[in-house]
Structure 1
């Protein structure tokens, strides 16, 4: 809460309350062993924090106060930032309006950036004391910061109101610490914007739902298809090549330098290439382009280092090269050049069919590094899309984070990842664990092989998915590998980690059985992740589960409203529970019309209708071929069959909606039942199916056709057809 404009601050201190204070000690921040202490009086604070999480960039822990032109205001900035870091300090406690929650170093760094802009703006306006600041100056500064920086060829644009609230908070924060500041402060009683909240000043509008949009299905489908193919089909072969190159480089690094005396040995190696008809090792295409000084050189594509390493040398001197060139030119004319890696590539099944193809052409060293980077992108996308992890949680995954798969009843296995949760936690995060599916476990295992780092080091160095997916798409197109593997083209569009998390949450909420099962054919995926939700109540997955439940509630309400609107238009539900649902809709329709007599707008107001339908929507459970209105557990056929009549949720997987008195069928379910009838017809028409099996399928076919006919009849109840 900002102080009122009439508040009068106490007289300023003769010297700062933080003079000679150890900044990190006061804030409770641990430094790495051997790091230099950070003292308040220094004009540059470099904090080598032991607990810094991986989202923190090095520059965010290097605070240079000399960027503030006015020396007196440097002290003001230091006092405010240390007060934000250490709200428990006795001098800060004396400030009645100071926040009592410690801010993170990242947040404080943002305050430093905008305090520097504010103070230097005042200096540019000829203001040298804070008591000269007026509301007009504050407004003008905010207006200047509300526009994007100039960019060549692009006009400036007004920034989103949410992104400039920090400008208002920074200008106002000086008022909060008026009793603490020693060198300068605003005039007594002056509070920028009269203490109004920053969101109100900038015009931020409250949003009723998550502003993050899901990844569009036309982008998500090919993206997941590409990434899963790279992880499960291409990745293991690539990892073998990477490990072979890693071992080769370790041996090469220990070898001597080839000199003139070693030329005969290298010539013998060249003759071996000629005899085998094997191409000489080649550098990547981008390196060839860079060798401008070697234009016209017949050995321009030659990978010299790799060639001499095959003879046991680390590299070759420039004086020895001329003695070897004539032999190399002659050999190159006969055998040519090719990448030195993956020359005997095994075959893999092409995407979408079983036609075997070589997984890659021979690769140069740079080509191999590029492939590794893009397959790592696929690993991180699969992990994010199928686990719901935030970007901060992906960054905290380390080599060795996988735990051995645990066998569970039914023959399946459970896989877990150990990591940290950073958001809304203490600096450095807190340990947490995620239950994931096997595809995610394989993606992490592949990433560990590709990076080849020691246990405990970061697994993913960058999870900026939109940029990395753009690079992946360009690589598949440029190299022709996408067409070679017959992969679907990844459309352009954003696909950040927050969008993938949002997509997963909505997929759970909207799909019977949950998650991306329809996309990746994983029937057990919801069971695995549900176990994760229950494993650590209050953990990261539990918070994600809360998001899913909120999205599910919204989806069920929308489905209920749609069913009600359909009934109003004469498109009635079918199935054993149709009469009960129609009666409920009739009762709600009567209540809606009664309310409309006093307020005619209510009849067409969705909010009032949603309130009336909310309780009914709370009983809805979505099945793959029906809706279950679970209002009376005693009537649930699935619970009676399972012998658990007191259960609080239906067993949707056991639902026999053609007989359950609480199940209804709607037009959206017709394709499922019609498809079942068509599939059965195909089996009956097949000569390979035994006659007895065909007879067993006939009742199933008749039931499916009866359901389809009932749906059609209910939809035509008003005679419109």
Structure 2
């Protein structure tokens, strides 16, 4: 009670268990290019230094304690987080990741908010029965925004968090949960039995087929044009050097070249952002910046009134060409026409991001990789090895497995099929840093795509609707399908698991320790594991099953 009065009087609260200058990440492996991390007294803990997954977003490993107004509960939250970061809690096998601790902090903050709103002046130590916790569980899950099929899982997560809060009570100074929630009953008793099958949605075949066909088209056809356009862009952005003739002469030569090729002048994109003095029709709608690059003229000189008039006259005579760059566009064999208009700088950047998404789809779907594993791939990760019997030359990629491994992950390899090798080759041509998947077009940034990949996957679907209208992605229940990274692994796992010897092959391909783990992905199936097969033979069936499902796109 004294501690509570001190808090209300505004006196500073000091933990009886942790010194104010303690490093909260002490003992954890940290990235080499960062400092030791935050100290206990700080109100914001940036802990990305201790999280090594490449698909990590900085916000996932940051705790802002000032979001808890009550100073007593703010200190309680710090002590809880510190305890979880530095001590193995009863019932756990290892220290949790910093992202897990951040997630638990958010749950603790929600609990404090619930108590403040519904039960003013009630502290954790006052919860002598399960009445309030039952109400909180209903408030968090049953009355929340979770899908009905996820209620049991979410109730189980909340129940486990409250158990952890009880088990860390000896590390909390002023307020603690003194009663074991629900008398220690299992999560199954409190939350209900979880479904044995993974609840992540499988992508419907009618949706997946055109989506995968589009991804393969980008990897095998569109990539050649995108890479050629990038090379052209790099060339036309080189310094002009000392001119040998006048600006007007070079501009006239450029126009004459266009006339001879039967091409129009590069059109100004409708959605491009231009300075105010460019937003006129005095140039006939010509993309002056691109003309300056292609004709090797300075931007300033092309804006002179005489040259602007020359462009207007050329546009009136030759017309306008969408895009305007010189890179030719490949023919889509399914339509007999170029798959898109010519490029300009903005459309090229958009197509680079689209190609990145296509490579991601091909890589994760036809390998069974997790998102973190795919985003760990680096240039040079692809190699080939003969199969165990020496008959087949197998494609493999080398990456990092994080789940269930040491915090920095363990290097491992996946047997893949040829389209994955092709996607990796394309990515290696796109990248200029030490990772294959990174955010293209963001100034001063070589950050990984991280959680933005989910949005990128759905932007890719929208782009396919424009570029490949002859192969549309159908609606599901009248709505666009919302793609997420987990769906690809789940979908192909279901297919592999329903083939003879598929569960064993999938367990090996998916880097699961136990067959039962893979069965959760594969879902209910007929038992095909008759007879005996060596792990080598079954491991070869993993990529063979991926090849079978790749045929869906044929």
CA distance in 1, matches of 2:242, 2:125: 71
**Is 2:396–2:413's contact at 8 Å kept on the other side of the alignment?**
yes
**1:115 maps to what in 2?**
108
Matched ranges for 1:402-551 at <5 A: 402-403=382-383, 412-449=392-429, 451-456=430-435, 458=437, 461=449, 467-478=455-466, 481-483=467-469, 486-487=470-471, 489=473, 491=475, 492-511=480-499, 540-541=510-511, 543=513
Matched ranges for 1:231-246 at <5 A: 231-246=219-234
**1:570 maps to what in 2?**
none
CA distance change for structure 1 residues 71 and 332 in 2, over 3 Å: closer, same or farther?
same
Question: What is the deviation of 1:448?
Answer: 2.3
Question: What is the deviation of 1:99?
Answer: 4.3
**1:522 maps to what in 2?**
none
Partner-residue secondary structure (3-state), 2:271? helix
**Is 1:84–1:99's contact at 8 Å kept on the other side of the alignment?**
no
Question: What is the deviation of 1:19?
Answer: 0.7
**2:75 maps to what in 1?**
75
CA distance change for structure 1 residues 292 and 16 in 2, over 3 Å: closer, same or farther?
same
CA distance in 2, matches of 1:552, 1:162: 18
Matched ranges for 1:639-654 at <5 A: none
**1:331 maps to what in 2?**
314
CA distance in 1, matches of 2:520, 2:168: 39
CA distance in 1, matches of 2:166, 2:291: 69
**1:216 maps to what in 2?**
204
Question: What is the deviation of 1:282?
Answer: 2.6
Matched ranges for 1:3-42 at <5 A: 15-35=15-35, 37-42=37-42
Matched, 1:131 2:125: yes
CA distance in 2, matches of 1:163, 1:29: 31
Task: For residues 549-598 of structure 1, give each alpha carbon's deviation from its aligned partner in whole angstroms, at most 9, with x where no partner exists.
Answer: 788996444xxxxxxxxxxxxxxxxxxxxxxxxxxxxxxxxxxxxxxxxx
Task: For residues 115-147 of structure 1, give each alpha carbon's deviation from its aligned partner in whole angstroms, at most 9, with x where no partner exists.
Answer: 122223333443264433454433333333236
Matched, 1:200 2:184: no
Unaligned runs of 5+ in 2: 1-12, 439-447, 538-554
Larger Rg: 1
Question: What is the deviation of 1:103?
Answer: 0.8
CA distance in 2, matches of 1:112, 1:18: 18
Question: How large is the RMSD of aligned CA atoms in angstroms?
Answer: 4.2
**Is 2:284–2:311's contact at 8 Å kept on the other side of the alignment?**
no
**Is 1:466–1:495's contact at 8 Å kept on the other side of the alignment?**
yes
CA distance in 2, matches of 1:308, 1:170: 62
**1:669 maps to what in 2?**
none
**More RCO (CA 8 Å, sep 6+):** 2
Please point out which of 332, 337, 344 is paired with 2:328: 344
**Is 1:274–1:334's contact at 8 Å kept on the other side of the alignment?**
no
**2:138 maps to what in 1?**
143
Task: For residues 331-371 of structure 1, give each alpha carbon's deviation from its aligned partner in whole angstroms, at most 9, with x where no partner exists.
Answer: 111122221235533445337xxxx5434331222222222
CA distance change for structure 1 residues 343 and 244 in 2, over 3 Å: closer, same or farther?
closer
Partner-residue secondary structure (3-state), 2:496? helix
Partner-residue secondary structure (3-state), 1:160? helix
Q: Using the TM superposition, name which of 214-223 and 503-512 deviates more.
A: 503-512
**2:289 maps to what in 1?**
305
CA distance change for structure 1 residues 76 and 61 in 2, over 3 Å: closer, same or farther?
same
Question: What is the deviation of 1:457?
Answer: 5.5
CA distance in 1, matches of 2:395, 2:45: 43
CA distance in 2, matches of 1:287, 1:374: 19
CA distance in 1, matches of 2:392, 2:123: 70
**1:520 maps to what in 2?**
none
CA distance in 1, matches of 2:301, 2:163: 65
Partner-residue secondary structure (3-state), 1:361? coil
CA distance in 2, matches of 1:191, 1:407: 55
Task: For residues 673-705 of structure 1, give each alpha carbon's deviation from its aligned partner in whole angstroms, at most 9, with x where no partner exists.
Answer: xxxxxxxxxxxxxxxxxxxxxxxxxxxxxxxxx
Give me the TM-score of the superposition, normalised by structure 2.
0.77
CA distance change for structure 1 residues 212 and 116 in 2, over 3 Å: closer, same or farther?
closer
Partner-residue secondary structure (3-state), 2:468? helix
**Is 1:395–1:463's contact at 8 Å kept on the other side of the alignment?**
no
CA distance change for structure 1 residues 113 and 482 in 2, over 3 Å: closer, same or farther?
same
CA distance change for structure 1 residues 342 and 123 in 2, over 3 Å: closer, same or farther?
same
CA distance change for structure 1 residues 548 and 83 in 2, over 3 Å: closer, same or farther?
closer
Matched ranges for 1:125-204 at <5 A: 125-127=119-121, 129-133=123-127, 135-146=130-141, 160-186=151-177, 189-201=178-190, 203-204=191-192
**Is 1:381–1:465's contact at 8 Å kept on the other side of the alignment?**
no
**2:543 maps to what in 1?**
none
Partner-residue secondary structure (3-state), 2:366? helix
Partner-residue secondary structure (3-state), 2:272? helix
**2:265 maps to what in 1?**
280
Partner-residue secondary structure (3-state), 2:87? coil
CA distance in 1, matches of 2:92, 2:512: 29
Task: For residues 357-412 of structure 1, give each alpha carbon's deviation from its aligned partner in whole angstroms, at most 9, with x where no partner exists.
Answer: 43433122222222222232222112122111112211212233222566987774
Aligned residues: 507
CA distance change for structure 1 residues 423 and 333 in 2, over 3 Å: closer, same or farther?
same
Partner-residue secondary structure (3-state), 1:286? coil
